[in-house]
């Protein structure tokens, strides 16, 4: 299963765009890239998922280059409430189920 | 109001006691999962179940047990054999248990277990 590497922490200010990059050099052909957000003492919440190129939804964009060895989560105009841990996961069926490996994530702090 | 519920939110246990954490979902999902999270760490998979009456060990199953008698329920028992059970426990579910690609896992609010 492909491992992911992402920065341990990032700081930003309200209103700025935040880009969190995740590397996954050993991504397999049938692997998808998924990002989750987690607030303290809560369960992770799905943000966005993609396979290649660009995916956009109401909260974020996900950019995936052609080689798929990395991906970038883009959060437009962050607010204080975006302070959370963001997890990049790469996974597909393994032994018949969705095996997701959560690393330590990126701790994003948004400042006023 | 659909979703995943976990109870209790906080649980205290004396050493040597077994304790069961509840997880219920009304999303009609086939697959359910249990994760453990320690402070500042990511999630680690304890057990998962793809279908009723079937479950598999995850990466850290020792000292834990589960059952899946109903589609909507996947209780986790933390036994006295678990040497360091104090942690945040998260239950999740997903809709597919056999299709290609990844399906979104939906997480419950978690149970914080503390061993006294």
- Which tens digits make up the pLDDT trace of A31-46? 889 999 999 999 999 9
Q: How high is the pLDDT of residue B97?
A: 53
Residue A90, C-beta contacts closer than 8 angstroms, at least 6 positions apart: A1, A2, A3, A4, A24, A27, A31, A32, A33, A34, A101
Mutation target for B interface from A22, A35, A44, A87: give the one with most B CBs within 10 A: A44
| Inter-chain residue contact B97 with A96, CB threshold 8 Å | yes
What residues of chain B lie within 8 A of the CB of A9, using their CB?
Answer: none
Average pLDDT, chain B: 89
Please report which confidence band the pLDDT of residue B100 belongs to, taking 50, 70 and 90 as the band edges. Answer: very low
pLDDT in tens, B33-88: 999 999 888 899 999 998 899 999 998 999 999 999 999 999 999 998 888 999 99
């Amino acid at each position: 299963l492909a491992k992911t590497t992402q920065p341990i922490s990032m700081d930003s200010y309200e209103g700025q765009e935040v880009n969190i990059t995740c590397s996954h050099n050993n991504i397999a052909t049938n692997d998808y890239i998924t990002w989750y957000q987690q607030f303290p003492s809560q369960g992770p919440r799905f943000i966005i998922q993609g396979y290649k190129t660009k995916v956009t939804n109401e909260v974020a964009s996900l950019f995936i280059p052609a080689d798929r060895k990395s991906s970038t989560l883009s959060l437009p105009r962050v607010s204080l409430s975006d302070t959370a841990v963001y997890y990049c996961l790469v996974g597909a069926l393994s032994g018949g189920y969705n095996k997701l490996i959560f690393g330590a994530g990126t701790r994003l702090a948004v400042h006023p | 109001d659909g979703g995943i519920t976990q109870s209790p939110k906080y649980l205290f246990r004396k050493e040597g006691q077994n304790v069961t954490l509840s997880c219920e979902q009304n999303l009609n999902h086939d697959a359910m999962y249990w994760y453990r999270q320690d402070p500042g760490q990511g999630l680690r998979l304890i057990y998962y179940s793809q279908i009723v009456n079937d479950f598999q060990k995850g990466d850290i199953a020792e000292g834990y047990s589960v059952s899946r008698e109903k589609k909507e329920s996947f209780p986790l028992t933390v036994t006295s054999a678990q040497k360091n059970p104090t942690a945040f426990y998260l239950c999740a579910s997903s809709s597919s248990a056999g299709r290609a690609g990844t399906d979104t896992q939906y997480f419950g609010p978690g149970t914080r277990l503390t061993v006294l």
